[in-house]
Structure 1
Amino acid sequence: MNKLFALLVAALILFGAVMAQQTPAGTNISNQASASYIDSAGQARTTTSNQVITVVQQVYSFTITPNGTDENSPGQTRSALAGAPVYFTYTVSNTGNGTDTINLTTVQDTGDNFDLSSTAIYLDANCNGTLDPGETAPITSVTLTRQGTPGASACVIVTGTIPASATNGQFGNLNLSGTSAGNPSVTDTNNWARAIATTAAILTATKSASPSGPVTPGSTITYTISGSNTGGSAASGVSVTGLTGTGILISDTIPTGLSVPAAPTGTAGAGTVQIVYSTDSGATWSTTAPTFPFVGNGSNRVGMFISGSGAFFPQTASYTFSFQATVPASAPAGTNYPNTATVTYYDGTANQTTTSNTTNNSAASRYSVAIGGTGASAIDGADTQTLASAFSGSTVTFNSTLQNTGNAPDSFTLSLGPSTIGTCSVYQSDGVTPLSGPVGPLAAGATYNVVVRCAIPASQTTGGSVTLTATSVNNPSGSVATPLDGVDATTLAVTTVVSGYSVDAAHNTNGASGGEGADPANDTRPGYNPAVNPGGVAYFPFEVSNTGANPDSYTLSASLPAGWTVVFYPDADCNGVMDTPTPSPVTNTGLISASATACFIAAVQVPTGAAPVDVTAGTSDNVQFIVTSTTLGSVSDTILGAVDVNLVAQIALDPDRSGTVTSPGTIQYTHTLTNNSNTGATCNISGDGGSHGWTYQYSLDGSTWSASLSGVSVAANGGSQTIYVRVLTPAGQPIGRTDVNTVTATCTVGSATATDTASETTTVVGGDLRLTKSGVSYVGSSTTVRDANAATALPGDVIEYIVVASNIGTGNLTQVVITDPLPSYTNFVSVSATISGFTGGTVLYSTNGTTWSATAPTTLSAGSSIYVAVDTNGDTNITSADVMPPSATITITFRVQVQ
């Protein structure tokens, strides 16, 4: 194998590695499914699954080129005088997906004529095939970044000296062997080279390119070919068609696509120098300059002809030939421009052609991004998207288009902030599925729509904005103000925010309103103050008026002496008297329309052991009731009250609880058993079990459960114990059924007995969709499991996601659509779904959420999602007429392959 062919093979191998880049080691591949549906009450709802995250593991792989398969088939050959050094050039390339160190050694052949002495390996930093100043320190390894990034390959030179005793024509073989430090089982050991002893003229040829690696499209590469006569006699010229006399010809084919803007230059230590040109692949040459730029088309060449008669180029004489070539501004990323020069001469016995090392520049990737309003025209000009007005507490939506404006496939991360319009989140183009991980890879010029939703705080009274920034994964640096770089941003703004929240609380004594409106006078206590024993309850009727412009609900709280508690009850008829039966306690007013009023009774629980209080004796008001907007915490009103206290021991079990549960289902309540006596109490806890045969269980620690509790010790003077109650509802309970369990604490306090109760009101609700996700990774596309939890994978592995959607409620769900996005750094493999619990029904698939088919898709583009639903009415579409009954299940198998 000659040197030119070997180096071209090396270039092609490197090019192939770049074109098949693997996902970088350590990359997180995250995937989360979502679903939309209509519940049994007719309300549109969404839910998301848990997130499955797979970490890509490192693949160790590298190549050393040119290859020499064995001692008899060297990949490169060098000739030199006996006693002179020879130089072999190699390229070491990391073809894996993470940084690795390649350990290098040399091996001598045992079946040749001689061994090379003084062998060493050097780093050729500029890849010019020559040891330059600063490159004289031997190395034993090279550390390379992952495939496809700068620093993923390195040029090395292996040197050795031919023995002075070698005779003309004798040879010695040398091999460069490499071993991965990350995985020593990965090696490359077939890189044999041959050194030949000679006494004839030897013209060397070394080629350099500046810059030596990727080149920005539109910029220029300077090529320099240099060499000298290192042989044992003077060199002579050869005859060249089209040129006068004989001479030494240095020839270089212009890489296809590059253009030479001006005439080359050159010098030589002997003979006469002429710059020459060929348009027919070197069949004929001319000294007449072409029209510049001189474009590389596979046939056009530039050269230098050193003319002279006889053996005119003596030993140690040298030459240099240089020319420039411009890379097209429109060159796609990764376009390779390999270049090799040749030198033709007569060595005293025969015509010889020396081939230089091959330079392999490529068009650098330009990674840039643009983002703006929806549509290509908005991307090009509009950096601000503005809504004229919005209400505080509402959610506004912005649609933006992301475009890859670079010349290579790229992925992009999207970030928000800072925000002055509330909490904002980024979603995929469907506006439902959260965007997790980068978007892409997107092809050069491709676009992708994203949705930003911002929840405006209730406290917002002025307009605001948030910045949506897109950042290239491959070029995370840049400036929003600079076009065609790795960062761009668009501003999402709301000009005006309108707010209207206020509240007024007033005493309601025996049904007589204390006055409404924002009137501080109605906040003072009425002309009475109840007297209770320690552990007793004082009742205060009051009303809450929504004096704002928007519907609102309010938290009910109190400021009480230490150890006192309060329970609030609704007063449906606003007569200031506790309704019968006693309603369930509340801590919130529920939604009150603008200008409407709701009535409540505050039951102030005085703790056992509380000191006597006589407000009428001059003590200031000792209770306050606070009504606070749940929408806007700064909106509140406070009314004053007072309680006279006598000292009497008492046991309290608080508070009453209420909640909702599915059928079957489980809910857990907590109560606090408080001993307000002045001595310890021993208590038994039990419940009446409600009216419908539900199961009630009790616990002190939330983990060990029994049908009742006994011997519960509670310390005196405010000592307390948490009581956990677990409610298990059986299947088949109708929606809306309510069960009330009365929990009773019966306590022995000294020689007396004290009791208290708490109620638990539980209501059955229906229509609850549970979405769960799991994953497993397989070795390639085989059935061998890599990781049963899909926590790790290698490039090329297949990840299988299992999404299970179940109706765990007791009511029908309708228009159920499950969405699963194609994760970044993966390619789509397949999707399938099965159903159970449906009466009939056909699984339908979609890639846009609107067009449905019973045939699963076979392709899915980057950044897209798969949609799965069940058609139960046979119209081949998904509407509110498609029903998912209780206990029905949809199971989706979604397979992707790691890039």
Structure 2
Amino acid sequence: MSYHSKILRSASAAAILVSIGATQTLAQAAPPPPPATPATSNAPAAGSVIGNQAVATYLNSAGDTITVTSNTVETVVQQVAGVTLSSDNTENVAPGGKAFLPHIITNDGNGPDGFDLSAAEDDAGALETSQLVFYPDANMDGVADSATPLIETPVLAPGEQFGVVIEATVPSTNAAGATDTITVTTTSQLDGTVVDTNTDTLTVSNDAIVELVKSMVADASSAGDPNIIDAGDTVTITLTYSSTGLAAANNYVVQDVLDGNLSYVKGSARWSDAAAPLDDDNASTLADGTNGSGETIAWDHDDGQTINFSLSSVRSGRSGSVTFQAVIADTANAGIVYNTATTALNGFVSPPSNTASITVDNQYSVSIADTAINADGTANGATTSATDDDAAQNDVVTETGDVFQGATIRQEFVLTNNSNEADSLSVDFANVDYPAGTTFRIVGADGITPVIGSVGPLAIGESTKVTLIATLPTDVAPTAAGSTNYTATMTVTSDASGVTDTSTAEFTGAVLAASVDLENNVAGSEGDGAAPTNGGAPWVSNATDPGVPTTFDMVVQNNGPVSDSYNLTLAQAIPDGWTVEFRDANGTLVTNTGTIPSGAQETITVTIVPADDAPVAATPIDIQVASSVTGQADRIVNEITVNAIYDVQILEDQTAQASPGGIVDMLHTITNEGNSDITEGAITQTGLTNFSGAIFWDQNGNGEIDATDPVIDNFDDLTDGIAAGTNGLAAGETISIIYRVQTPSTATPGVSESGTLTLGTSLNGATATDADTADNANEDRIVIIAGDVTLTKYQYIDANCDGTAGTFTKTRQPVEPGQCIRYMIEASNTGSFEATEVTISDAAPAYTSITNCGGSCAETLFPAGSTATITSSAVSSDHGSVLPGGVARLEFTVEVDN
């Protein structure tokens, strides 16, 4: 069985009325053990999305270390049913009397569900059941609270409980010694095949019979549901006895061994028949109280977990109770605490009480800091940030090392789950005063794998690490050591509760100047240095009509120590339909400056031709030069006043490597984020000169170009995309496109081009305009290198976790808790030179762990001789060298938490 990680603050119960027509004799039975306290589940809730991507590194022929990332694959957790019914009961009942047989139903599924209730007599003891009726019992104390019949439970949230008490009535014609059993069944309404049963046994007796009902409720001072309590709070425990036999019950003994999460409160015991408190220190044979009929009680607490009391006699028809208190341990985990009391009558074992329960509420606490944090908020130092330059444990991860413009800054944080149940944690960042244009990403404990979705689940008190990687813009202003103070806020959030904690990433090192300077060749508007804008404004503003070219004259200065060449690109996408040309001093069309000696400069012109379309407001032209060798870059932002901007959301900028004459396919998604269908709007590519490219609609979403996939340049090319006969993209829908770029066979290593994919903002025949321009385009950069490795990730569902082979796909798949996902990552050398030291790294997504299915789904590697290092949460494989046209492959399996 499984238990959802969040137990809701509601509970209810039911009773069943059963009439039985035969007699039984007294039968002694050993008391059943109480149900095991359930462990809170790590299973993901229905609808959770599990996803991740892999990372590969290799050395090309020039000795450069290249890192590539795969596509992201996702699975969606499906709702599954689960139910537990507890527990079996054994009772004695007098002819014409009643027995009360309590049960508890728990929803063990990962989503809301209702449960049908039924009971059936097996007739083995010649007794007949005349009716089966269910009644509610809200406080689950074994006594029906209402006479309203029920045939099903209410809809229960994951982990929620619903009690059942069978009221069994025996006709007076039954003879002593007659027995019968009743099978109680509860069935999931979500999945009619998911059931659980209990068996209740009744024996008719003419002797003394005492029925014991146990209840545990939160102390009266506690607010909310009496069946739910916090760690450290007080529980009131009541043992109610009723003499229902034909004779007085003599020497009735009750023993209650408390669960380890309960601590008895000394001096709290009371007997309903006497005013004075019961003495904890008396031996169990000494009388602690006497009622008006001369009946006595002997009470004893063994200073541990055991409570004993004995009653000298209980007359037939008499009832009474013993009440005491216990405290829930501060260390108690979230979940259900069960307890059952055992009994003996005149020296013989008699039926136990019902199984009472109290739910320890979820208490959530999470932390993110430069060290692991204890539950009391103090630092324990067991796990600390490896990048924190500040020796103090002050919740701030400080980096003091100097970096160049465009460099990456790594800051490691420690996440800790101090909740009283396992929990998955989401982590996010917010830029405070890192420079505009800084990009951020978060990677996991291995320092490589991107964090997608949640981290964990983490056990109670468990810590893990994540790293915030900030990449400065290449044009950030240089700063002196000690004068920089860049900060970002890191936030961790409990998936189960939304509880959060924050920490700070701080950079105080110097930012060293870049080695290239791009300037306008216009007096007073050069843009000297690293500032891309003139205090937020453009350096040069040109006005032009739609479709009329306008030119910026510029200078590229190599301020580095050695000769270098620089690729010419636009750092920001220009509107759909616009074109850009870069020309050298001779008027030759170029994409690279050519080699510029140290200290020298070259002039270039940048010609922009706006689309021949409706006017738009002033448009920034973000011109960039970047060395493909050193990565040094600079930007200038100028401006063109035109009258049209086209933009619709397109995701996933990519950088790819290709060999001369090679082909590279880059997968992107286009999403209609609005609430209206899009029937028309441009989808174009710009920026390629010597390279050539085309955009394909991946109609079946398999991540590959098929013969039937069309080349597109507009939303109206999406045939029947909205409905039969209506082309376009429906509101809220997403499509996949593949940007295929082919490089010229004459290209040499180091040459690169950038292709910009742009979606127009003028939609539906210019009757609507996209309101969000922040994500209207992406830029794909293709670099010619000696070794060209692409990384692709696939998956299929292994439903039984037995290694059954499936069909790999890149598309989103449905998965259930307890099922397995088989991943395959392929690193393909599509270049013309050998790739060496090829490694593939991946991690188990949130709510999963790596498994070998008992040996039936162990990892597989290709080529022969490859090795892998695998833990329950991460995998890394070494594949050595991969020749042109060859592949390195890693397959492994993860199991979804149940």
Q: If the length of structure 2 is used for normalisation, what is the TM-score? A: 0.64
Choose the corresponding residue for 2:369, options 369, 372, 383: 372
The 2-side partners of 1:564 and 1:27 are apart by 41
The 2-side partners of 1:390 and 1:140 are apart by 70
Answering whether residue 257 of structure 2 is matched by residue 253 of structure 1, we say yes
Where 2:165 maps in the other structure, the secondary structure is strand
Q: Tell me the CA shift for residue 827 of structure 1.
A: 3.1
Work out whether residues 102 and 141 of structure 1, in 8 Å CA contact, stay in contact via their aligned partners in 2: yes
Matching residue of 2:139: 126
Choose the corresponding residue for 1:779, options 799, 802, 816: 799
% identity of equivalent residues? 24
Paired residues for 1:610-621 under 5 Å = none
Work out whether residues 42 and 423 of structure 2, in 8 Å CA contact, stay in contact via their aligned partners in 1: no
Work out whether residues 861 and 867 of structure 2, in 8 Å CA contact, stay in contact via their aligned partners in 1: no
Q: Go from structure 1 to structure 2 and tell me whether the alpha carbon gap of 1:771 and 1:634 turns closer, same or farther (over 3 Å shift).
A: closer
Higher Rg: 1
The 1-side partners of 2:147 and 2:522 are apart by 94
Q: Tell me the CA shift for residue 889 of structure 1.
A: 1.3
Choose the corresponding residue for 2:396, options 384, 388, 406: 384
The 2-side partners of 1:271 and 1:351 are apart by 30
Structure 2 counterpart of 1:382, one-letter code:
N
The 2-side partners of 1:231 and 1:95 are apart by 38
The 1-side partners of 2:70 and 2:624 are apart by 32
Corresponding pairs, count = 693
Q: Go from structure 1 to structure 2 and tell me whether the alpha carbon gap of 1:568 and 1:295 turns closer, same or farther (over 3 Å shift).
A: same
Query: Comparing 494-503 with 223-232, which one deviates more in the overlay?
Result: 494-503
Structure 1 counterpart of 2:149, one-letter code:
P
The 1-side partners of 2:611 and 2:281 are apart by 106
Work out whether residues 505 and 639 of structure 1, in 8 Å CA contact, stay in contact via their aligned partners in 2: no
Choose the corresponding residue for 2:150, options 119, 129, 139: 139
The 2-side partners of 1:124 and 1:5 are apart by 27
Report Cα offsets for 1:182-213 as digits up to 9, x if no partner.
Answer: 222333455344363x6655433211112375
Matching residue of 2:235: 221
Matching residue of 2:216: 209
Q: Tell me the CA shift for residue 39 of structure 1.
A: 2.6
Unaligned ranges ≥5, structure 1: 68-74, 239-247, 479-486, 526-534, 558-562, 572-577, 609-623, 641-658, 669-689, 706-724, 740-761, 848-859, 872-882
Structure 2 counterpart of 1:18, one-letter code:
A
Answering whether residue 589 of structure 2 is matched by residue 584 of structure 1, we say yes
Choose the corresponding residue for 2:829, options 807, 811, 816: 807
Q: If the length of structure 1 is used for normalisation, what is the TM-score? A: 0.64
The 2-side partners of 1:696 and 1:797 are apart by 44
Structure 1 counterpart of 2:355, one-letter code:
T
Structure 2 counterpart of 1:32, one-letter code:
Q
Paired residues for 1:726-875 under 5 Å = 735=748, 765-784=785-804, 789=809, 791-830=813-852, 831-836=858-863, 842-846=865-869, 860-862=871-873, 865-871=874-880
Q: Tell me the CA shift for residue 111 of structure 1.
A: 5.6
Q: Go from structure 1 to structure 2 and tell me whether the alpha carbon gap of 1:634 and 1:896 turns closer, same or farther (over 3 Å shift).
A: closer
Work out whether residues 657 and 789 of structure 2, in 8 Å CA contact, stay in contact via their aligned partners in 1: no
Q: Go from structure 1 to structure 2 and tell me whether the alpha carbon gap of 1:50 and 1:603 turns closer, same or farther (over 3 Å shift).
A: closer
The 2-side partners of 1:541 and 1:351 are apart by 103
Q: Tell me the CA shift for residue 807 of structure 1.
A: 0.9
Where 1:782 maps in the other structure, the secondary structure is coil
Report Cα offsets for 1:672-709 as digits up to 9, x if no partner.
Answer: xxxxxxxxxxxxxxxxxx9xxx999999999999xxxx
Structure 1 counterpart of 2:71, one-letter code:
N
Matching residue of 1:430: 446
Work out whether residues 257 and 295 of structure 1, in 8 Å CA contact, stay in contact via their aligned partners in 2: no
Q: Tell me the CA shift for residue 604 of structure 1.
A: 9.4
Q: Tell me the CA shift for residue 316 of structure 1.
A: 4.1
Answering whether residue 170 of structure 2 is matched by residue 162 of structure 1, we say yes
Q: Tell me the CA shift for residue 774 of structure 1.
A: 1.3
Report Cα offsets for 1:836-894 as digits up to 9, x if no partner.
Answer: 5xxxx8323235xxxxxxxxxxxx133xx2111134xxxxxxxxxxx433222111121
Matching residue of 1:443: 459
Q: Go from structure 1 to structure 2 and tell me whether the alpha carbon gap of 1:425 and 1:699 turns closer, same or farther (over 3 Å shift).
A: closer
Unaligned ranges ≥5, structure 2: 1-25, 219-225, 290-296, 373-379, 386-391, 542-546, 572-576, 613-618, 627-632, 642-655, 666-688, 699-704, 708-738, 753-781, 853-857
Matching residue of 1:32: 53
Structure 2 counterpart of 1:34, one-letter code:
V
Answering whether residue 319 of structure 2 is matched by residue 318 of structure 1, we say yes
The 2-side partners of 1:821 and 1:704 are apart by 31
Q: Tell me the CA shift for residue 770 of structure 1.
A: 0.9
Answering whether residue 67 of structure 2 is matched by residue 66 of structure 1, we say no
Report Cα offsets for 1:307-349 as digits up to 9, x if no partner.
Answer: 57xxxx545432121112233334456695523153646xxxx
Report Cα offsets for 1:764-799 as digits up to 9, x if no partner.
Answer: 643111111112222323354577648233344332
Structure 2 counterpart of 1:46, one-letter code:
T
Query: Comparing 179-188 with 885-894, which one deviates more in the overlay?
Result: 179-188
Q: Tell me the CA shift for residue 104 of structure 1.
A: 0.5
Work out whether residues 36 and 47 of structure 1, in 8 Å CA contact, stay in contact via their aligned partners in 2: yes
Matching residue of 1:182: 190
Report Cα offsets for 1:207-228 as digits up to 9, x if no partner.
Answer: 1112375654433322111133
Structure 2 counterpart of 1:490, one-letter code:
S
Matching residue of 1:649: none
Work out whether residues 411 and 468 of structure 2, in 8 Å CA contact, stay in contact via their aligned partners in 1: yes
Q: Go from structure 1 to structure 2 and tell me whether the alpha carbon gap of 1:453 and 1:139 turns closer, same or farther (over 3 Å shift).
A: same
Paired residues for 1:281-430 under 5 Å = 295-297=303-305, 300-303=306-309, 305-307=310-312, 313-331=314-332, 336=337, 338-342=339-343, 344=345, 353=350, 355-361=352-358, 366-373=363-370, 376-377=380-381, 381-387=393-399, 393-417=406-430, 419-421=432-434, 422-430=438-446
Where 2:492 maps in the other structure, the secondary structure is strand
Q: Go from structure 1 to structure 2 and tell me whether the alpha carbon gap of 1:118 and 1:268 turns closer, same or farther (over 3 Å shift).
A: farther
The 2-side partners of 1:404 and 1:361 are apart by 24
The 2-side partners of 1:110 and 1:206 are apart by 27
Paired residues for 1:649-798 under 5 Å = 662-663=659-660, 665-666=662-663, 735=748, 765-784=785-804, 789=809, 791-798=813-820
Q: Go from structure 1 to structure 2 and tell me whether the alpha carbon gap of 1:4 and 1:592 turns closer, same or farther (over 3 Å shift).
A: farther
Q: Tell me the CA shift for residue 128 of structure 1.
A: 1.4
The 1-side partners of 2:639 and 2:234 are apart by 77
Work out whether residues 798 and 804 of structure 2, in 8 Å CA contact, stay in contact via their aligned partners in 1: yes
Work out whether residues 787 and 835 of structure 2, in 8 Å CA contact, stay in contact via their aligned partners in 1: yes
The 1-side partners of 2:111 and 2:637 are apart by 58
Report Cα offsets for 1:566-592 as digits up to 9, x if no partner.
Answer: 844101xxxxxx36xxx3345x86898
Work out whether residues 38 and 813 of structure 1, in 8 Å CA contact, stay in contact via their aligned partners in 2: yes
Q: Go from structure 1 to structure 2 and tell me whether the alpha carbon gap of 1:466 and 1:262 turns closer, same or farther (over 3 Å shift).
A: same
Where 2:114 maps in the other structure, the secondary structure is strand
Matching residue of 2:888: 890
Work out whether residues 334 and 362 of structure 2, in 8 Å CA contact, stay in contact via their aligned partners in 1: yes
Q: Go from structure 1 to structure 2 and tell me whether the alpha carbon gap of 1:273 and 1:404 turns closer, same or farther (over 3 Å shift).
A: closer
The 2-side partners of 1:806 and 1:727 are apart by 17
The 2-side partners of 1:696 and 1:357 are apart by 77
Where 2:845 maps in the other structure, the secondary structure is coil
Work out whether residues 369 and 406 of structure 1, in 8 Å CA contact, stay in contact via their aligned partners in 2: yes
Q: Go from structure 1 to structure 2 and tell me whether the alpha carbon gap of 1:397 and 1:130 turns closer, same or farther (over 3 Å shift).
A: same
The 2-side partners of 1:353 and 1:666 are apart by 81
Q: Go from structure 1 to structure 2 and tell me whether the alpha carbon gap of 1:268 and 1:4 turns closer, same or farther (over 3 Å shift).
A: farther
Q: Go from structure 1 to structure 2 and tell me whether the alpha carbon gap of 1:214 and 1:418 turns closer, same or farther (over 3 Å shift).
A: farther
Structure 2 counterpart of 1:665, one-letter code:
G
The 1-side partners of 2:395 and 2:598 are apart by 39
